[in-house]
Structure 1
Amino acid sequence: MTRALFIIDVQNDFTEGGALGVEGGAAVAAGITRLLQQHRGDYALVAASRDWHSGEHDNGGHFAVDAEPDFVATWPPHCVEGTDGADYHPDFDTSAVDVHIRKGQGVPAYSIFEGTDDAGASVSDVLAARGITDIDVVGLATDYCVRASALDAVEHGQHVRVFTDLVAGVAAESSATALAELGHAGVVIAESTVLDEAAS
């Protein structure tokens, strides 16, 4: 078995009521928990990423400090290390997660591949150690960190699927554009029901 599940940034600040909450975020958290309850055995590796930013500076220009955020390259403070906003959403049961990835840590970071695990290993090293060749991607937000993570996975030679029923985006138009871009890059755009179909 050489398939991994990437769970991207299912954090309080990216779900409803958070600093950068997206509509449907809590439902995605609960849906991922159901997926893991039913299909954890389908994956050789489950990796979950979190934004993990410093609260003491602008994180390499990522946080808007002296001007209003443009919501493209600059953002309101979010997912500051040690705060409730940086925690996983409570509806996401992390007990089945093998590897926790922190990204940001003082600089802008969107893709899970820009982060490291608790031991400081890169995601590329983690995948190589497990012999991973296929990755399913779920989480938040479709048009930013899910997009970046899936594109990087393709760049790293992986066969990639994004499950549209387990992602949520900042905006409908940019999310649709992101999924189209991913499809063009070779990512399979599917729903998680493909796992049920494969098992039957």
Structure 2
Amino acid sequence: MTALPAHVALIVVDLQPDFMPGGALPCVDGDALVEPIAALLHARRYHAVVATQDWHPRNHASFASHYPGQAPFAQIQLHGHAQTLWPDHCVQGTTGAALHPGVDWDVADMVLRKGTRPRVDSYSAFRENHGPDGTRPATGLAGWLRERGITEVHVCGLARDYCVLWTAQDAASAGFAVGFHWELTRPVSADNDDATRQALATAGIALL
């Protein structure tokens, strides 16, 4: 494969066992991404590679287990905004939270752990979800990329309809050109694919 220009970076979002069949919060055929993403990284087409890692404390506010009477995938209000409640997943230090061992992560220039604050969820690689003060705090990734001359990012990973989508949208909002590796993503629910495609089109994000 031909190397891409130096101003283009790849973000691999949450390629972790908990988001794959048999994991705590499986995406549809999430494990099918391991081999092609491993091959993409091995080809070294990208001069900069960022991997994100969902990394929650056990008492994370997004876990349904902390709300008596609530089930996973229920909706509540958290800090004034809609919050989906999830099964306990990607708990710090667990096997399910590890970056998938089928990928050589030594090629990654940065591993960004997100969702580490107990009271704030974090889908995007660029900004956390809304916190108690009503803002979405930046992770610092945009600055890290700009200091390396990156003006375009391509995204892949899990889940297509949440963390990959939000990462792509926030990258576009931050001024980056964005490409979305649709075939290198999988959703929590395929029912969301039409809405995901519409959201990408609205944000001017190209499907790769």
TM range, normalised to the smaller chain?
A: 0.7 to 0.9
Equivalent-residue separation in structure 2 for 1:31 and 1:176 (angstroms):
24
Shift of 1:179: 2.2
Per the TM alignment, residue 71 of structure 1 is displaced from its structure 2 partner at its CA by 5.2
Q: Conserved in 1, the CA contact under 8 Å of 2:15 and 2:34?
A: yes
Aligned to 1:141: 159
Partner letter of residue 99 of structure 2?
Answer: Y
Paired amino acid for 2:179? R
* Aligned positions of 1:1-200 closer than 5 A: 1-38=6-43, 40=44, 42-55=45-58, 57=59, 59=60, 61-64=61-64, 65=66, 66=68, 67-70=70-73, 73-105=84-116, 106=118, 107-114=120-127, 122-190=140-208
> Would the aligned equivalents of 2:63 and 2:88 in 1 still touch at CA under 8 Å?
yes
Gaps of 5+ in 1: 116-120, 191-200
Deviation of the 1:44 alpha carbon? 2.5
Cα deviations by residue, 1:37-73 (Å, 9 ceiling, x for unpaired) = 22x1x32210000111001x1x2x2111222122551
TM-score by length of 2: 0.82
Residues 138 and 162 of structure 1 are in contact (CA less than 8 Å); yes or no, is this contact kept in structure 2? yes
* Distance (whole Å) between structure 2 residues aligned to residue 92 and residue 169 of structure 1: 20
- Give the root-mean-square deviation of aligned CA atoms: 1.4
How far apart, CA to CA, are the structure 2 residues paired with 1:97 and 1:128?
Answer: 17
Higher helix share: 1
Instruction: Please give the alpha-carbon distance, in whole angstroms, between the structure 1 residues aligned to 2:34 and 2:27.
Output: 12
Q: What secondary structure, in the 3-state scheme, does the structure 2 residue paired with 1:138 have?
A: strand
Go from structure 1 to structure 2 and tell me whether the alpha carbon gap of 1:183 and 1:132 turns closer, same or farther (over 3 Å shift).
same
Mind listing any 5+ residue stretches in structure 2 that lack a counterpart? 1-5, 76-83, 129-138
Post-superposition Cα deviations, 1:134-167, rounded to whole Å, max 9, x if no partner, equal: 0010000000000000000000100000111110
Q: Percent same amino acid among aligned pairs? A: 38
What amino acid sits opposite 2:27 in the alignment? V
Q: Which amino acid aligns with 2:124?
A: S
